[in-house]
Structure 1
Amino acid sequence: MNNTNSPASMPMWQAYLTLGILSLVWGTSFILIKKSLESFTPVQVACLRMSLSALAFVPVLAYNYKRMDWSRLPLLMVLGLCSSALPAILFSTAQQKISSATAGVLNSLTPLFTMIIGVVIFKVTVKTRQVLGILLGLVGAACLILMGKGGISNSPVDYASLIVLATVFYATGTNLIATKFRDMDSLLVSAGSFGTVGVPLGIYLLLGTDFIPRMGTLPNPWQSLGYVVLLSWVGTVLATIIFFKVIQQTSAIFGATVAYLMPIIAMLWGVADGEKIGLLHVGCMAVILVGVYLSRKQ
């Protein structure tokens, strides 16, 4: 059984603050994936990420067993695949050949695909200001890509296309939350979606890959495992619960604009690492922030 009442709208200040926190957490996840790949294969990183996330939700599923709407299990599995498992595999694979910063800016395509899929498949109504906000955010992100060190031009097209495909899956999952799970507790949605995909991927990790031998033979496997744990329990479990709540109480398009803020976080990490930032970069960030503001459906 689930709550049949749609959640109340989130206050504007709270929506923007939450979006900022999510962008900080997810903007850092790309570097964590890069560090994890030092010891594990892309598939192993993805399976670890999903299985550790599922493990964190086991107590939630056990405690809320009677509250869970188990008739939605197939749809929860589709949500888990689209919003978590498949993008995790695609990002890990792509980041073998492209930088974490490039992966972050390519991820900014998510809001655009969210709007397109929402309108075409889910028949979601969008306002003119939301369309303008999406386009402004896309322009700002594209400028950051063009000015970025290395940029898309130095990245293999086939690997970069994996990130683009991942954003399509993210967009599909975001629309599923907004249209099919708005009346369901975000904690239960997260627990159900991760549980359905994380358990089988965990079994495959242990029985179908050389994960265990790697842990005993590689020089620093525990350090890489620590990065995956941080990526899973903070960047996936906690952030996903918050993200689902934001979508339920605002809109799919507004929630997806967190992808526009990630390049800003990636650039700020670069500044902290000694890279310089110019007025054009600041201008692009301003354009992105205006786009995020306009995308919020009143």
Structure 2
Amino acid sequence: MTSAIRMGVLALLWGSGFLWIKISLNEGLTPGWITFVRCLLGAAVLLALAYGAGQRLPRHRGTWGRLLVAALLCNALPFLLFSVGEQTVDSGVAGVLNATTPLWSLLIGLGLGTERPLRPARLGGLALGFTGVLLIFAPWSAGPGLMTWGALALLGASMSYAAAFAYMARRLTGRGTAPLALSAAQLLAATALSTPALTAGGPARVTATGVLAVLVLGVFATGLTFHLNYRMIAEEGPTSAATVGYLLPVVSVTLGALILHEPLTARVLTGMTIVLVGVGLTRVRTKSARRAATAGAGGQAAARGPAGLPGTPPGRTGRQPAADRS
């Protein structure tokens, strides 16, 4: 499989997660059930892959404690928030708002002191990215704007991802546990954490279409995408894997329009473009920083896992070993 084909397949599977969430909701499944089944199926896929690779689940109690925090911030909570948000917001817009995660990550890094003072290009990218978000929300609009609780839930999911990445980079990665096993353990923990949500939102309606949608979401858009992304960073490097992230909003918007007939408004498309340009600018590095990142990536990629996680937007390379989400 050529690099371009692999990248296209990964972007399609990864970016389609928002579509499967929307279809599951339309067929009567509740956000709690979607979250639980997604975590369970993703964990099953990763457990099978870890077993096939000869990797064992972590045994240290402290590691499982950190996994619970990571599972809450990176899986159970954002998965639930995305399902809640898509009850009232189009799947395409959900994919666009998911792309703001690197912007929140940068703000968190500045707050924690892990990011150096921003150069003009990165500072401009941060401002531009949030300008795009503001354009999408259009709080000044008298028409059907996006200043809703559903849209805020989607932004909350992106913030949760950003907080998770900051936590995992400090407390979970690079501690000797094989990445597939660590990711399987994290999704197992997320399955347990999402169990209480099964009782929320009333009874779920089970249909063949809804079951199929959540099966694809859990097996392909969660479990399998992690494996494919892991393979990509191992074989082609973190830059290629990170590039896939820029395609995710485009995939979600296109699938939403073609399959669900969601409207493609000029405001949302313009906002998406501005957000992605802003995210790209925040990834600008000096020559010395690029040399350091390149030197570290070769030795750390296989140990730390993929560049981005299923559902994670562009710009997070070589840090997260644990399975994620859209």
Q: Normalised by the size of structure 1, how large is the TM-score?
A: 0.69
- The within-5 A match list for 1:126-275 is 128=119, 129-139=121-131, 153-155=144-146, 157-183=148-174, 184-199=177-192, 201=194, 205=198, 208=199, 218=205, 221-241=207-227, 258=245, 261-269=247-255, 272=258
CA RMSD of aligned residues (A): 4.3
CA distance in 2, matches of 1:292, 1:73: 35
Structure 1 counterpart of 2:42, one-letter code? S
Report the more deviating stretch, 24-33 or 242-251. 242-251
Structure 1 counterpart of 2:17, one-letter code? S
Any gaps of 5 or more consecutive residues in structure 2?
291-326
CA distance in 2, matches of 1:111, 1:267: 19
Whether 1:49 aligns to 2:38 is yes
State the shift of 1:153 in Å. 4.4
State the shift of 1:291 in Å. 4.3
Instruction: Identify if the C-alpha distance between structure 1 residues 257 and 181 changes in structure 2 by more than 3 Å, giving closer, same or farther.
Output: farther
CA distance in 1, matches of 2:143, 2:115: 32
- The within-5 A match list for 1:26-175 is 26-37=14-25, 38-60=27-49, 63-65=54-56, 68=58, 70=60, 71-121=62-112, 123-125=114-116, 128=119, 129-139=121-131, 153-155=144-146, 157-175=148-166
State the shift of 1:122 in Å. 6.3
Instruction: Identify if the C-alpha distance between structure 1 residues 160 and 85 changes in structure 2 by more than 3 Å, giving closer, same or farther.
Output: same
Q: Normalised by the size of structure 2, how large is the TM-score?
A: 0.64
CA distance in 2, matches of 1:155, 1:142: 10
Instruction: Identify if the C-alpha distance between structure 1 residues 239 and 222 changes in structure 2 by more than 3 Å, giving closer, same or farther.
Output: same
CA distance in 2, matches of 1:125, 1:245: 31
Structure 2 counterpart of 1:118, one-letter code? G
**Alignment check: 8 A CA contact 1:106 1:164 kept:** yes
Instruction: Identify if the C-alpha distance between structure 1 residues 172 and 286 changes in structure 2 by more than 3 Å, giving closer, same or farther.
Output: closer
Any idea what the Cα deviations from partners look like across 1:224-270, whole Å, max 9, x if unmatched?
1111111112211233456678999759xx95993x64332233336
CA distance in 2, matches of 1:27, 1:233: 14
**Alignment check: 8 A CA contact 1:186 1:245 kept:** no
Report the more deviating stretch, 96-105 or 152-161. 152-161
Any idea what the Cα deviations from partners look like across 1:50-96, whole Å, max 9, x if unmatched?
12222223335664227x36331111111111111101111111211
Structure 2 counterpart of 1:34, one-letter code? K
Any gaps of 5 or more consecutive residues in structure 1?
1-13
**Corresponding residue for residue 10 of structure 1:** none
Aligned residues: 270
CA distance in 2, matches of 1:261, 1:152: 29
**Alignment check: 8 A CA contact 2:82 2:94 kept:** yes
Structure 2 counterpart of 1:192, one-letter code? A
CA distance in 2, matches of 1:171, 1:48: 23
CA distance in 1, matches of 2:85, 2:93: 10
**Alignment check: 8 A CA contact 1:58 1:195 kept:** no
Report the more deviating stretch, 119-128 or 171-180. 119-128
**Corresponding residue for residue 3 of structure 1:** none
Q: Secondary structure at the match of 1:154?
A: coil
State the shift of 1:116 in Å. 0.9
Structure 1 counterpart of 2:152, one-letter code? S
CA distance in 1, matches of 2:70, 2:22: 25
